[in-house]
């Protein structure tokens, strides 16, 4: 037997005689008696046999101890390739327009926004592409994106109805979500979401009204905060799951908690989820020194999660549980792509509208991948298990090389927040699980 290379052990202040044990490859989490941890350490560091068969069984169950012949990097590599090239689940991010009614200060699509709407030809080609693949698929998941997709709601409706019909006829699971600024979320629009099977909405508010209206105004300069909140308030009874994103940087980091006051006053507490989003100078569209470092952002996010819990907002810590990643996201998955109004295909939605990141066009009948093939290969052939930056990192199973876009752009920070706050989250999760266990006794 040998120790896993992905073991973490942390002190547990609530019970000083115990240790939080976590394995990032298996996701195993346990409270371990310190005396048992000492036995483990003596075995690993001094070769002293463990004389407790139950302890050995538990350590092997969580794979804190593994067989000598197991190569964990090989296992990660196998899972990576199997997941990356899985072609049973199709994920499409579709932007029916890149036009937008907002002028957000940090928008990474600046300069690429066109008031162009997806032609019927492009729409038909997307539906045809799904039809050609449908008999090989288990699921189709659509994310409606932009620009602002509700400016092209007729296209969203028409395409949704056609794709849903295809999926139902072939007994393929269908799911859809929409990322919208929320300005046009009227009752008339929201009432149609159920039939379109839109089960998730992401909306952004960047703080209290004075902060938000400076950061996310209409193109005319008019504020948008009040209209968005009124839309949510008036339609919350029929809305699907809402995720309220607060984009945070140095300009608003000290004001983000104030949005919670507004949600409480309007009776929206626990009727939607709230989280912080990371602002970065993608495509040189924002001033870098206004952005938080990933270390700063991680700490801010962790403290925000604590505020949510203290104030009684729905905050299931388990959503922060660091699970094993097989591949990072849709950008490094072969069966996922982003399609703009002109039919151009990208791997990441941060690439949308940028010519050098186009990898093909849905209108091309011979090959979807026919442009910037080298960029496509950068996304899909990267292997973090041989990357010198990642190969010896104990976080590799839950990071799998970090954000593909940041890696390709050679950004200095592509690691996720667990690099900085893993210990804090695991201790809090262990404490919460222990409290729930004690409540049942």
Where do the structural domains in the chain lie, given as residue ranges? 2-70, 71-441
Residue spans of alpha helices (H) in 317-410? 373-380, 396-399, 404-408
Given a contact cutoff of 8 angstroms between Cβ atoms, the answer to whether 195 and 168 are in contact is: no
On average, the pLDDT of the chain sits at: 93
CATH code, 71-441: 3.20.20.70
pLDDT at 111 over 80: no
Q: What percent of the chain has pLDDT over 70?
A: 97
pLDDT at 130 over 90: yes
Listed in sequence order, the residues at least 6 apart from 435 whose beta carbon sits closer than 8 Å to its beta carbon are none
Mean pLDDT in residue range 26-49: 94
Instruction: Note the pLDDT tens digit of each residue in 138-188.
Output: 999 999 999 999 999 999 999 999 999 999 999 999 999 999 999 999 999
Instruction: Note the pLDDT tens digit of each residue in 177-216.
Output: 999 999 999 999 999 999 999 999 999 999 999 999 999 9
Per-residue pLDDT, 109: 67
Per-residue pLDDT, 112: 60
Distance between CA atoms of residues 160 and 165, nearest Å: 8
Given a contact cutoff of 8 angstroms between Cβ atoms, the answer to whether 238 and 188 are in contact is: no
Look at 126-140, 201-215, 290-304, 305-319 and tell me which has the smallest mean pLDDT. Answer: 305-319
Residue 433 pLDDT class (50, 70, 90 cuts): confident
Per-residue pLDDT, 441: 55
* Structure-token pair, residue 79: 């899972």
Distance between CA atoms of residues 146 and 97, nearest Å: 6
Instruction: Note the pLDDT tens digit of each residue in 54-75.
Output: 999 999 999 999 999 999 999 9
Q: Where does residue 110 rank: exposed (0-12), middle (13-18), buried (19+ CB within 10 A)?
A: middle
Q: What percent of the chain has pLDDT over 90?
A: 85
pTM, whole model, 2 decimals? Answer: 0.93
Per-residue pLDDT, 102: 95
Distance between CA atoms of residues 405 and 330, nearest Å: 11
Given a contact cutoff of 8 angstroms between Cβ atoms, the answer to whether 344 and 416 are in contact is: no
Given a contact cutoff of 8 angstroms between Cβ atoms, the answer to whether 139 and 173 are in contact is: yes
Per-residue pLDDT, 260: 94
pLDDT at 396 over 70: yes
């Amino acid at each position: 037997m040998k120790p896993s290379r992905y073991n973490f052990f942390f002190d547990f202040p609530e019970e000083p005689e115990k240790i939080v044990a976590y394995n990032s490859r298996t996701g195993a989490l346990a409270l371990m008696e310190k005396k048992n941890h000492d036995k483990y350490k003596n075995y690993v560091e001094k070769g002293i046999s463990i004389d407790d068969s139950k302890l050995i069984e538990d350590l092997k169950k969580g794979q804190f101890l593994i067989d000598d012949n197991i190569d964990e990097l090989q296992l990660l590599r196998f899972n990576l390739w199997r997941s990356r090239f899985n072609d049973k689940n199709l994920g499409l991010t579709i932007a029916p327009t890149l036009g937008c009614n907002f002028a957000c200060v940090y928008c990474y699509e600046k300069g690429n926004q066109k008031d162009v709407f997806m032609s019927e030809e492009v729409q038909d080609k997307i539906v045809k592409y799904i039809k050609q693949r449908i008999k090989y698929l288990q699921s189709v998941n659509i994310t409606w994106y932009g620009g602002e997709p509700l400016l092209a709601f007729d296209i969203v409706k028409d395409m949704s109805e056609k794709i849903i019909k295809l999926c139902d006829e072939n007994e393929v699971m269908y799911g859809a979500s929409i990322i919208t600024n929320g300005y046009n979320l009227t009752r008339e629009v929201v009432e149609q979401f159920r039939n379109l099977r839109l089960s998730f909405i992401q909306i952004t508010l960047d703080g209290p009204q004075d902060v938000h209206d400076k950061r996310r105004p209409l193109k005319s300069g008019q504020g948008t905060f009040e209209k968005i909140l009124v839309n949510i308030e008036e339609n919350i009874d029929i809305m699907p799951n809402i995720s309220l994103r607060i984009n945070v940087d140095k300009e608003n980091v000290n004001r983000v908690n104030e949005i919670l006051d507004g949600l409480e006053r309007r009776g929206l507490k626990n009727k939607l989820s709230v989280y912080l989003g990371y602002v970065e100078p993608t495509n040189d569209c924002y001033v870098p020194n206004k952005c938080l470092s990933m270390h700063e952002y991680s700490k801010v996010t962790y403290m925000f999660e604590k505020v949510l819990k203290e104030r009684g907002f729905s905050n299931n810590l388990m959503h922060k549980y660091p699970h094993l990643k097989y591949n990072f996201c849709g950008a490094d998955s072969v069966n996922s792509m982003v399609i703009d109004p002109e039919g151009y295909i990208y791997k990441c939605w941060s690439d949308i509208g940028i010519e050098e990141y186009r990898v093909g066009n849905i209108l091309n009948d011979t090959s979807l991948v026919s442009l910037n093939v080298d960029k496509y290969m950068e996304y899909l052939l990267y292997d973090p298990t041989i990357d010198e930056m990642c190969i010896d990192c104990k976080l590799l199973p839950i990071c799998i090389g970090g954000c593909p876009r940041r890696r390709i752009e050679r950004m200095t920070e592509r690691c996720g927040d667990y690099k900085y706050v893993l210990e804090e989250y695991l201790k809090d999760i262990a404490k919460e699980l222990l409290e729930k266990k004690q409540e049942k006794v």
